[in-house]
Structure 1
């Protein structure tokens, strides 16, 4: 019959901290003051540590404690262990205030900055890491657990839907637009008119009444050169599903990865563009660019929040969720 092996109690960080304090101060009373513990608790922790190590650490002479030769090597090791513990606490504190946010390009460039300002207002020490790319690239990073939460424009299409959480966030509207007095629209006899006139005939897209616009049919738009976002972007997804399917022969002359590039190319009258109204609000307000309204076309879309179910939802994660849902 095998002899039962005695299981000794584990050494605790409290015992090591008590020992180090006694070693440094020379007495249990001063150690109790330093550690904000009762003197009996300090004496008990030291006794437990000596029992676990099965060696004396101090020699008790009356009310004095003299260091035993065993004390110094144990002190060196205890200092190292407590130092590693402190490093781990700092690491946890740092990562508790860190968040990795992914965003598709329109959201990342135009919508996310004021949301981050609110986050910093609540958590000034927040450590934010940003990844901005098209929707599919961002969702892929979520699947790889490289991003805590993503805000994307297109319908998420993860490889494994069981591990990805996706929640509708807000709505947005894409807008077809052209340079003011564009040669392309002039060539087919289309001229700028007021949205007040357009709305009388049922062309209401929710944009500001009274703003200038062009008004086209789907057939007319199909004859004009279009500049669009690249495949994989949320903007392109909506263009494919809600615009180009009505115009199989449309002249898409260029697919471009950056919304800013499309905006500047349209300003140079290379063709017409289709982007979120967030991207072109300033140019519409200045009159440099003009909305192109197409009867029968609805380019509204849903923006999504996406995260991996296995990703830890830290306090900063929840704070950011509260901010973006309130905004």
Structure 2
């Protein structure tokens, strides 16, 4: 008599989505918030998946979930399956002209608008024939959305640091330069340095800059990453008085002479042109950086996606 085959439940997309979310967030509670499911539903889905695969995916130590060695290869496969599922679900919309674009704040606010205008110009039906969803946040937040397959293509500042490099494709796009800047008649620079009217700038050493109050972007932003790695490491005693999420807020506070700022040249170019703000050149400091294109390897690359990539690479 033949032995009955064990009747195990089939793997579902919900189980895979739960597993991927737990893998990325490190807990069932955060996964339940991310997926808008109850914590019991999340725990049940994970248990069912482990039962179906007949393997542990996480080691449970107290209330913590640590990745089991089995987890990573399953994570890679689950990401690919979920990506194909989303591609199938949105196939018609993608063919009709839908694209989800992510951008870090400097790029999204100051560089992306003319690129989108070029995209509309290249499409047969112009703005009528395309549906663009935009997500603008700091670099780390945008890259997380790419990992979760919520974004087709992202344009970010600084080197992306995804949870799993194996599922992310990234390509160098263009270079940018950060500038230290101050109010044109800043009280902080009086008697410290001479103003060069021809170049509209002051020149300081790192030792001099370290004595002045600095306003910078928050941790997780591409701008802050460059400031930390290429400026502040030379000034361990620097006076960072504020970390702010919005570049415009930093610019306005510097205009009020609260301190000096450090932002992309694209953010302050209008104020430099009118000389309401001035550049502060720091001896021996290079604040150039690379901007990156980032996308998920499993994401469907629609015709509009390719058109947008072509525009970006031509710019």
Deviation string for 1:23-72 (max 9, x for gaps)? xxxxxxxxxxxxxxxxxxxxxxxxxxxxxxxxxxxxxxxxxxxxxxxxxx
Give the aligned CA root-mean-square deviation in angstroms.
1.7
User: What is the rounded CA distance, in whole Å, between the counterparts of 2:116 and 2:251 in structure 1?
Assistant: 25
SS in 2 for 1:176: strand
Query: What is the aligned partner in structure 1 of residue 234 from structure 2?
Result: 246
Taking the aligned partners of 1:231 and 1:93, their CA distance within structure 2 comes to 36
Q: 1:230-257 CA deviation, whole Å, 9 max, x = no partner? A: 0000000000000000000000000000
Of the structure 1 ranges 176-185 and 117-126, higher mean CA displacement relative to structure 2 is found in 117-126
Q: Could you tell me whether the CA contact under 8 Å between 1:96 and 1:314 is conserved in 2?
A: no
What runs of 5+ residues in structure 1 fail to find an aligned partner? Answer: 1-87, 195-209
Q: What CA distance in whole angstroms lies between the structure 2 residues aligned with 1:189 and 1:177?
A: 15
TM-aligned CA deviation for residue 90 of structure 1: 11
Larger Rg: 1
Unmatched segments (≥5 aa) in structure 2: 1-87
Equivalent residues, number: 224
Closer, same or farther: CA 90–278 of 1 in aligned 2, 3 Å: closer
Q: Look up the SS of the partner of 1:102 in the other structure.
A: strand
TM-score normalised to the size of structure 1? 0.67
Query: Which residue is equivalent to 1:192?
Result: 195
| CA displacement at 1:211 relative to structure 2 | 2.7
TM-score normalized by structure 2? 0.69
- Measured in 2, the distance between the counterparts of 1:93 and 1:239 equals 40
2:158 paired residue number: 154
Structure 1 residue 93 displacement after superposition: 4.9
The corresponding residue for 1:296 is 284
Q: How does 1:163-242 map to 2 (within 5 A)?
A: 163-186=167-190, 188-194=191-197, 210-242=198-230
Secondary structure at the aligned position of 1:227 is classed as: strand
Runs of 4+ in 1 over 4 A off after TM superposition: 88-91
Establish whether residue 317 from structure 1 lines up as the match of residue 305 from structure 2: yes
